[in-house]
Amino acid sequence: MNSLSLTDRFDPVGPNETAFLGKAIETSISGQSSIVSYYEDQLREHFGVREAIAVSSGFGALVVALSAMGLEPGDKVLLTPTCPLCTAYALTFMRLEPVFCDICRDDFSMSVDHAAFRLDSMTRAIIDIPMWGYPIAADATEKFAKEHKLQFLVDVALAHQTKLHGQFLCKYAGAATFSTHSSKNIVTGEGGVVLTDDPNLASKARKFCHPNNPQSANPGLNYALGGLQAALGVSRLPRLESDVVHRQAIMRHITNGLDNPHLEVLPITTGGTPGGTKLIVREVSGNNRQLLRHQLDHGVPSDIANYNCKPLYEYPVFYDRSVSCPNAEKMLQSITTIPVHPEVDFETANEIIEILNSYRPAVKEGL
């Protein structure tokens, strides 16, 4: 069996990029460029929202959205410990208090039962985070947020095209944020987006993102996206849907070819459609260490290994926020991710299937 040399990164190149980049250079490459406004128009149309604000990064998108929601230092925000570190770092940067809540057993949806247990008088918001493009029960979280008068943000950094009951996840929340870094489904090198149907929230976000008067009573920070990155977004957004169709097809192909009794594909949330960021495979014994070694030895990268994924409260920076989240712990101890981006063709997918099907856990772990 041959080994592969796959990469997790996919940087799409299309015929229109040079033209759009040239247009940006001819006009303006600042955050006030007309190409940025045009990019925001295209994002609004694509995602079916009233407002889209292009910003400099996914981290910036979180800071801008949470600021526009009116959160203040000391406010508590519920979120799942399976999310990326940068999501929680946005909270600590703003001196907000991350409060970790467990996920559901077979997906990354926040457990609203555990969230109810973690509420107190200082809780102001909730962030739900669909990981690797897998849908979450955002409708249940939306209901919970409304019942408890919480701001609701969904961080779709890894789930741009993910849907629930036929709708993009952003339609369930007051705001959605995502990154357009090179590991994401829309790639502008660096960048991020805030999506919302709330014009008041959008107005506040724009003032924070594009401060015209830094000496005002409420100065903002410059989180604007540059014109060159916006030009890449304009040129690449039209291919997003076809890229995701390919990703979903590769996910199905690998799923159908997997017949290893030691492995199973993570189930999809009822009513959900994955965004095709990665395929998630689970080691049925609950211990992924040998699977990760087998996968890496055969040239198939995994985010779980690359980022040493574990519940965030197991990192030293969040030790003081430790809480028992057994579902989150079991999830990250048992899964791996598989690349399915457009450079993974069906021939490569067949090789991935062979690698996964050849996996056999040793009787005695050797890692």
Largest CA distance in the chain: 66
Both tokens assigned to 324: 């028992």
The pLDDT, as a whole number, for residue 8 is 80
The answer, yes or no, to whether residue 215 has pLDDT greater than 60, is: no
Other C-beta atoms closer than 10 Å to the C-beta of 360 total 11
Query: Which CATH number does 239-357 carry?
Result: 3.90.1150.10
Tell me the C-alpha distance between 296 and 328, whole Å: 23
Compute the average pLDDT of residues 174-183.
91
> How sure is the predictor about 220, in pLDDT bands with cuts at 50, 70 and 90?
low
Task: Say if residue 214's pLDDT is above 60.
Answer: no
Q: Which of 57, 52, 92 is nearest to 188 (CA)?
A: 57
Q: Is the pLDDT of residue 367 over 50?
A: no
Least confident piece of the model among 126-130, 155-159, 255-259:
155-159
Categorise residue 195: left if φ over 0, alpha if ψ from -120 to 50, beta otherwise: beta
- Pairwise CA distance, residues 174 & 195, whole Å: 9
Q: What would the two tokens of residue 111 be? A: 């457990």
Q: Mind listing the pLDDT tens digit for each residue in 61-118? A: 999 999 999 999 999 999 999 999 999 999 999 999 999 999 999 999 999 999 999 9
Q: Which two tokens stand for residue 198?
A: 């709330």
Q: What is the pLDDT of residue 231?
A: 86
Class of domain 17-238: alpha beta
**Run of H or E residues at 188:** none
The mean pLDDT of the chain is 91
Q: What is the pLDDT of residue 22?
A: 66
Count of CB atoms within 10 A of residue 215's CB? 6
Instruction: Answer for the pair 66, 125: CB distance below 8 angstroms, yes or no.
Output: yes
In this structure, is the dihedral angle defined by the CA atoms of residues 297, 299, 300 and 301, taken in order, positive or negative?
positive
Give the full edge-to-edge strand order of the sheet including 163-164: 167-168, 163-164, 272-273
Positive or negative, the CA dihedral 55, 58, 59, 62 is positive
Range(s) within the chain of domains with CATH label 3.90.1150.10: 239-357
Residue 28 is predicted with a pLDDT of: 65
Residue 155 forms beta bridges with which residues?
Answer: 177
Mean pLDDT of the 38-54 span: 96
Spell 99-127 as b/e; 16+ CB within 10 A means b: bbbbbbeebbbbbbebbeeebeeebbbbb
CA-based nearest residue to 324, from 309, 335, 314: 314
- 40-69 burial: b if 16+ Cβ within 10 Å, else e: bebbeebbebebbbbbbbbbbbbbbbbbbb
Whether pLDDT at 212 is above 70: no
Identify whether the C-beta of residue 186 lies closer than 8 Å to the C-beta of residue 240: yes
The pTM of this model reads 0.92
- Whether 27 shows a pLDDT value over 80: the answer reads no
Q: At 341, list the tokens.
A: 């981006």
Q: Tell me 189's DSSP state.
A: B
pLDDT tops 80 at residue 296: yes
Q: Per-residue pLDDT averaged across 132-149, rounded?
A: 98
Residues of CATH 3.40.640.10 domain(s) within the chain? Answer: 17-238
Q: Which two tokens stand for residue 208?
A: 């924070």
Structure tokens of 146?
Answer: 């409304």
Beta carbons within 10 angstroms of residue 32's beta carbon: 12
**Strands lying side by side in the sheet with 175-179:** 51-55, 192-196, 175-179, 151-155, 123-128, 76-79, 97-100
